[in-house]
Amino acid sequence: TVKETTTEWELLNDMKAVWLRNPKEVTEEEYAKFYHSLAKDFGDDKPMTWSHFSAEGDVEFKALLFVPPKAPHDLYESYYNANKSNLKLYVRRVFISDEFDDLLPKYLSFLMGIVDSDTLPLNVSREMLQQHSSLKTIKKKLIRKALDMIRKLAEEDPDEYSNKEKTDDEKSAMEEKKGQYAKFWNEFGKSVKLGIIEDATNRNRLAKLLRFESSKSDGKLVSLDEYISRMKSGQKDIFYLTGSSKEQLEKSPFLEQLTKKNYEVIYFTDPVDEYLMQYLMDYEDKKFQNVSKEGLKLGKDSKLKDLKESFKELTDWWKKALDTEGIDSVKISNRLHNTPCVVVTSKYGWSSNMEKIMQAQTLSDASKQAYMRGKRVLEINPRHPIIKELRDKVAQDSDSEGLKQTARLVYQTALMESGFNLPDPKDFASSIYRSVQKSLDLSPDAAVEEEEEVEEPEVEEKESAKAEEPEHEQYDKDEL
């Protein structure tokens, strides 16, 4: 008997690549497993969401996009310089590269996935492929699908649309997705804001994805659509305020009349928000209004004309008293209730928060800062007792130096409370001390008591000091 050995090939992996299969045939577990292999992340966290689709027409391709469960720690480091592409490009199932930055814009660089095209040429260099016109079409469709994917993540989150009625089955199915968009926003919200700054074409789509806290949100995140749905009758502008923290903004004097009249104000506390609002000028035909700047309208005040006339002497006098402080004008305010006065900036100038951000930059241009700071206006509260008393004092003796010092001190206090840095803290401190002296009935000429000089003993010579050194106890090595 002759034994013959034959060799046969056995196909161990007979499954098609996940992105080539029908999305209806792929399970969540398979998508999660594929994501972990793609991201080289073998933890237990599933991707937040994904989009699996095919594009047909002049350019045909299949794509699978994932939103990671967490943002990379270095996502925004060297944002405009580093190569951070997370998409792998295939042409007819042949891997080409994972370094095609033009497939997605920078602000969507956190997405991971696969793009497989049958339209792109295979027998050209990577450099020539990067210049291919079809890549622009692919990029456009990828952006649209990516933004739709993120929008659906928000729509499927019951925390986002809790006011919509759901059946018991729908509630059960959506329970797992509760809080998912808030998680996305905490991880990648800054990318959405950068997208609004960089991508004018999709600015309105991206604006729908914005979330923020407000004076009425009770710690929850709300959208611009939700804000508009709660706007008061007759309100034409979307009110917002920028600052370093929610706690700081809640104490801001700029909110006094707005809160009293039940207006909702958006809180922007991320430094990038200042840049964001330079590009996001309006939304759904509603203009944005920074409540710390000129132009705030809260309905008509029938007494405003009479108040302007009544306080004209004070406003003119105060403007002259502050001629060295860079104040453009002194006006009657419509935004104050408990505070005597605030300092506001011109509509297109820097806010106090933006001014601090620019001053903190190492290479900031001082001349540009002076230009962009814009005009400053001192707005006074005509119903406040301090302002009314100042008006009466000015009418009696407008040349009083003490009155001018008081007016300057009130202005400096308002400048600080409005969020600005004091240009001369020493001068402000001196004014406070003078006020304290006056309240204590101390003479302005009261002198500081001189300290009595005491002669210090001479230092002894080194030899003497050495002789007085304490002896150190000696230990026997055997005892240690």
Nearest to 83 by CA among 66, 99, 102, 62: 99
* Other residues' Cβ atoms within 10 Å of the Cβ of residue 230: 13
Give yes or no for a contact between 400 and 393, defined as CB atoms under 8 angstroms apart. yes
Question: What angle is formed at CA 21 by the lines to CA 16 and CA 26, rounded to 5 degrees?
Answer: 105
* 92 carries a ligand binding annotation: no
| CA distance readout (Å), 250 to 216, 247, 275 | 11, 5, 22
Which tokens hold the place of 395?
Answer: 């009418």
Helical ranges in 40-179 per DSSP H: 126-130, 134-155, 168-174
Nearest to 129 by CA among 82, 172, 95, 80: 95
Alpha-carbon gap, residue 74 to 77, rounded angstroms: 5
The CA distance from 170 to 319, in Å, is 64
Query: Are 114 and 142 contacting, i.e. CB atoms less than 8 angstroms apart?
Result: no
Greatest Cα pair distance in the chain: 132
Q: For the residues of 301-353, what is the DSSP string, one character each?
A: -TTHHHHHHHTHHHHHHHHHHTTTTTEEEEEE-SS-SS-SEEEEE-TTS--HH
Element (H, E) at 104: none
Find tokens 């994501």 and name the residue.
35
> Do residues 298 and 346 touch, judged by C-beta distance below 8 A?
no
Distances (CA, A) of 437 to 275, 440, 448, 450: 45, 5, 12, 19
β-bridge partners, 54? 62
Per-residue three-class SS string for 267-308: EECCHHHHHHHHHCCEECCEEEEECCECCCCCCCCCCHHHHH
Q: Are 146 and 51 in contact (CB under 8 A)?
A: yes
Contact 293, 239 (CB under 8 A): no
Beta carbons of 47 and 187 less than 8 angstroms apart: no
Residues making up the binding site: 126
List, as residue ranges, the binding site for ATP.
126
